[in-house]
Chain A
Amino acid sequence: MTSKRRPEHQAPPEIFYNEEEAMKYTTNSRMIEIQSEMSERAIELLNLPEGTPCLILDVGCGSGLSGECLTEHGHEWFGMDISAAMLNVAREREIDGDVVLADAGQGVSFRPGTFDGVISISALQWLCNADKKYHKPQKRLYTFFSTLYASMKNGSRAVFQIYPENPQQLELITTQSVRAGFGGGVVVDYPNSTKAKKIFLCLFCGNQTPTLPQGLGTGESSQHVKYTQERSQNSFHKRQSIKKSRDWIAEKKERRKRQGKSVRPNTKYTGRKRKTHF
């Protein structure tokens, strides 16, 4: 996204995610891979009870790649998305969730205490834009977070992978989430790599024993949270290995093993550069 303008600056989401853009989510293998990787990481950060089938909300579920990951983990999910074209791709993919056409900025219209967890991949930054004359990003974010909070089970988490345009935007988002009652913090994966760096906003619903940064549970209510730009010592995992490095591969294999997937054993060749053959 260095040479191209940010998608949010080009058109409102329901226009930007048209049929052509939606097609990429079935044909562009690189895009699919990145989306799935981020979904896996978001699900990991949800920290759901082991082996228990849960009900999850996917905000900006789009073509259902993230939903597919949820299904693979044995969960049921509902999705909401503002783009009919993206949802049509999800339909064609034969996905195992239910979806509604809805604008997150208008609020989450599910009953209180419905969800065991919430994920959202590359969608939330869209709410920072005023796409209509009457749009107020601050208000839309607050409407979203407060209704989302209500729809979640006490003690559950919401994990958002986001692409904030700048620190101010991240602050706009986190401020409104705190106002809505959430605790939590920001987890940054690979902070030192421009390419692999990923930002996850991890929000806690209800009074929880903190697993993420300072603030939560330190005598004050969970609404008082310090957001940190970098991952603190308290965050669940420390993953700072450079992507595709030997360590990174080993960690990934470890993670897949924990999920019960088959992986190749590590050898001295693991993570080595291969000669190019023609």
Chain B
Amino acid sequence: MLLSRILNMRLITHNMLTSHVKGVTNGYPLIIEATEVEEKEVDFNPEFISRMMSRIEWPALVKAMEWIGKKDCLPEEPIENCEKDNDFLQKAHHALMEIEVITGSLKCPESGRKFPISNGIPNMLLNEDEV
């Protein structure tokens, strides 16, 4: 059975998202300032997580976990052949798919611009002078 979830920003999204403010050259990773975080159980799809491993910026995921106060849930570095290691994939799954930021903001590391998150949805709209 598929578990249903209300869409909130998960860390997989955070891992892929960058700041696109005009003039910013290194807008990654966005700094998470969370005031409300939730955990939800999501079906584990090892094949999907395994496919994502080459796309995931691991240090950013470790940082993200640290920012929301769950520092010790992840190994500092991905282990060798992590794509095939079920234990490892399960941990990655938990961090990427089961932790949601409901309220807070994402701060551009270069410009300091804050993108607010409310109702689980990050607001990435730019002002006229930021495009």
Contact = CB atoms under 8 A, between A and B. Distances in A.
Interface of A: 52-55, 64, 71, 76, 78, 80, 82, 84, 87-88, 90-91, 94-103, 106-111, 113-114, 132, 134, 143, 147
Contacts of B27: 109
A94 B17 contact: no
Contacts of A88: 119
B53 interface: no
B2 interface: yes
B121 A100 contact: yes
A132 B13 contact: no
Contact of A101 (B12, B51, B52, B125): B125
Contacts of B17: 100, 109-111
B109 interface: no
Interface stretch (B3-11, B31-39, B65-73, B79-87): B3-11
Interface size class of B (residues with CB under 8 A): 35 or more
B57 A102 contact: no
A107 B17 CA distance: 12
Contact of B125 (A55, A91, A103): A103
Contacts of B2: 71, 96
Contact of A98 (B10, B18, B48): B10
B88 to A, nearest CB: 18
Given A53-B51, A88-B119, A111-B16, 13 more contacts: A55-B48, A76-B12, A78-B16, A96-B5, A103-B125, A106-B20, A108-B20, A109-B19, A110-B17, A111-B57, A114-B16, A114-B55, A132-B128
B12 A91 contact: no
B131 interface: yes
A100 B126 contact: no
A78 B10 CA distance: 10
Contact of A91 (B7, B10, B52, B131): B7
Nearest to A114: B16
Nearest to B49: A53
B51 A90 contact: no
A97 B9 CA distance: 9
Given A109-B19, A134-B128, A100 B6 contact: no
A98 B7 contact: yes
B25 interface: no
A251 to B, nearest CB: 29
Given A87-B121, A101-B125, A113-B55, A94 B9 contact: no
A106 B123 CA distance: 13
B74 interface: no
B16 A110 contact: yes
A183 B52 CA distance: 26
Nearest to A103: B125
A95 to B, nearest CB: 5
B104 interface: no
Contacts of A97: 7
Which of B2, B4, B57, B131 is the most central at the interface, judged by chain A CB atoms within 10 Å of its CB?
A: B131
